[in-house]
Amino acid sequence: MPAASLSSPQKARILAEALPFIRGYHGKTLIVRFGGGAMADPALKDGFARDVALLRLVGMNPVVVHGGGWRIDDLLQQMGIESRKHRGFRVTDEAAMNVVEMVLGEINQELVGLINRHGAKAVGIDGQDGRFIHARRMTLPAVAGAPDATDLGHVGDVELIDPDIVLLLLSRGFVPVIMPVGVGPDGTAYHINSDLVAGQLARTLHAEKLILMTNVPGVFDGDGKLAYVLTASEADALLADGTVEGGMRTRLTAALAAVREGVRSVHIIDGGVESALLLEVLTNAGVGTAVRSDAGPHFLADTRSYFAGPAGD
Amino acid sequence: MAVTGALLPTENIMLDADLPGPAGLFRAAGALFERHCGLPAERIAASLEARERIGSTGLGQGVAVPHARIKGLDRAVAAFVRTRVPIDFGAPDDKPVSDFLVLLVPDHATEEHLQILADVAARFGDPGFRQRLRACTVPAAARDLFAAWAPA
């Protein structure tokens, strides 16, 4: 609903309703992965930057990790560099890696600029800065249907995150904007999937919330229905039986690892929804899939055993 | 079984209540049931609280369905409470809750009662329903909405 169509009491009500959320997340660290189609839409991108600035200005500690998405593919194609993908990962030779770094750097500075324009202070960093992301070369193991292990070139996985630089920036009120490039022990730069970086960062920082923004409504279950909440074992099952494939597979795996290591709240949300980030953080409307640990309530099962239990008073 | 006037009388609907937390909600629900159904408020609040200790009845998306078995009750009865400010209710999506459908069932709860809860959960799973419910400003409108809902 565009703000202009709301009456003043409605606007006031919306602001008042955000208060408990603002209070709850004050001083808390939120890791937000921005990627997908929203990055190609100037209005959504600007809206995202405004939302991040707003969260910072009301006292939360947002950290942005962004992908490169379609722009990498577009530029590779324009430059006539062949780009293949294996199970959602791009095979990246040296020429392709130069393009990846160029595109990521450009997106990074765009986001920093936009967040700054909305009144927060953003700082762009990559894994090289402060030796922040230690990477290792990623090889996709052989699986049924793809019998050879695949070398992906300059594609890496997170070996370790040294969060000092991020903590330093947060301690002074800056919004870190992170491009997903890590460095191997020999100084080689690796492009790392941004969901993996965001997930690992959330685990290392014991973040309150991990939000992975994508360009689909969320995770779909075996019946093709959008899952609003997934327990860890439900998510495991969707990964094991191959229901979730491609980029979402990596995303859900990152989400699951974060949940298992105690990140309290992990959400995979639709970045194509206007103000998706604000809706996720400041309201109880759901704009995607929440992944949670197996511990905790199981509504109907709990009720069934409660109804079957001994008579109460 | 539909959530009709017999199950959810207009008098049991309270919109925009100022309740600080779960305990306040259970007390408010208990008071509603005492006033309109002649049930003892304190015992109801305690029973709701006891069921909640097994696991949150939050469904996510700001909705919960607290419920309890009540000795001496001969048929199910419901109340709907909407809080002005959402309260922390241990919901599975970790989001605070503002819309509560409270259900009391006889001590010998049956599959039929479980069905009411499943039906209410399905209803709340419909984003259109949630939106229309939140737009209701008077209890009668909320009652009509509950009575009119049909699964898509």
Q: Which domains does chain B have, with CATH numbers?
A: 10-148 (3.40.930.10)
AA letter at A130: G
**How does pLDDT run across A214-264, given as a tens digit for each residue?**
989 999 998 888 888 899 999 999 999 999 988 899 999 999 999 998 898
Q: In this complex, do A296 and B92 lie within 8 Å of one another by their Cβ atoms?
A: yes
Residue ranges of B 101-130 with Cβ closer than 8 A to chain A = 105, 107-110, 113-114, 117-118, 121, 125
Distance from CA of A289 to the nearest CA of B (A): 9
Q: Are A307 and A47 in contact (CB under 8 A)?
A: no
CA distance A195 to A187: 23
**What confidence score (pLDDT) does residue A1 get?**
46
**What confidence score (pLDDT) does residue B152 get?**
41
Cα separation values, A183 from A99, A140, A161, A288, B25, Å? 17, 19, 11, 33, 53
**The length of chain A, given as a count of residues:** 313
Residues in A whose CB is inside 8 Å of some CB of B read: 16-17, 19-21, 24, 228-229, 264-265, 283-286, 290, 292, 296-300, 302-307, 311-313
Kindly report the pTM of this predicted structure. 0.80
Residue A117 CA neighbour count, 13 Å, CB half: 12
Q: Which residue of A has its CA nearest to B46?
A: A313
Does B83 contact A at CB distance below 8 Å? no
**What confidence score (pLDDT) does residue B150 get?**
58
Q: Cα Rg for chain A, rounded, in angstroms?
A: 20
**What confidence score (pLDDT) does residue A169 get?**
97
Q: Which residues of B are less than 8 Å from A299 in CB distance?
A: 55-59, 65, 92, 121
Q: Which residue of B has its CA nearest to A306?
A: B51
Residue A124's region, left for phi above 0, alpha for psi from -120 to 50, else beta, is beta
Q: Find where tokens 């048929």 sit.
A: B75
Q: In this complex, do A307 and B47 lie within 8 Å of one another by their Cβ atoms?
A: no
CA distance A180 to A190: 8
CA distance A80 to A297: 53
Greater pLDDT, B14 or A298: B14
Distance from CA of B138 to the nearest CA of A (A): 16
AA letter at A108: N
CA distance B66 to A40: 44
- According to DSSP, the β-strands at A150-161 and A175-179 are unpaired
Distance from CA of B93 to the nearest CA of A (A): 6
CATH architecture of A25-280: 3-Layer(aba) Sandwich (3.40)
Residue A204 has pLDDT above 70, yes or no: yes
Q: Which of A300, A67, A293 is nearest to B122 (CA)?
A: A300
Q: Are A206 and A28 in contact (CB under 8 A)?
A: no
Contacts of A204 (CB under 8 A, 6+ apart): A161, A163
Beta-carbon count within 10 A of A75 CB: 18
Q: Which residue of A has its CA nearest to B117?
A: A300
Does B134 contact A at CB distance below 8 Å? no
B67 counts as catalytic: yes
Question: Sorting pLDDT into bands at 50, 70 and 90, what band is A114?
Answer: very high
Contacts of A189 (CB under 8 A, 6+ apart): A97, A101, A128, A135, A154, A181, A182, A183
Average pLDDT over residues A160-184: 97
Residue A293 has pLDDT above 70, yes or no: yes
Average pLDDT over residues A55-61: 96
Q: Which residue of B has its CA nearest to A208?
A: B94
Q: Which of B102, B98, B103 is nearest to B130 (CA)?
A: B98
Q: Are B60 and A286 in contact (CB under 8 A)?
A: yes
Share of chain A above pLDDT 90, in %: 60
Q: What are phi and psi of A60, to 5 degrees?
A: -95, 170
Instruction: Reduce the DSSP state of residue A136 to 3 states and report it.
Output: strand
**What confidence score (pLDDT) does residue B37 get?**
83
Q: Are A249 and A212 in contact (CB under 8 A)?
A: no
Instruction: Reduce the DSSP state of residue A230 to 3 states and report it.
Output: strand
CA distance B97 to B86: 5
- According to DSSP, the β-strands at A265-270 and A288-292 are antiparallel
Cα separation values, A208 from A5, A73, A107, A146, A264, Å? 34, 33, 26, 38, 6
Q: Which of B132, B62, B38 is nearest to A283 (CA)?
A: B62
A155-164, A304-313, B5-14: range with lowest mean pLDDT: A304-313
Could you report the predicted ipTM of this complex, rounded to two decimals?
Answer: 0.80
Q: What are A45's two structure tokens?
A: 């991108």
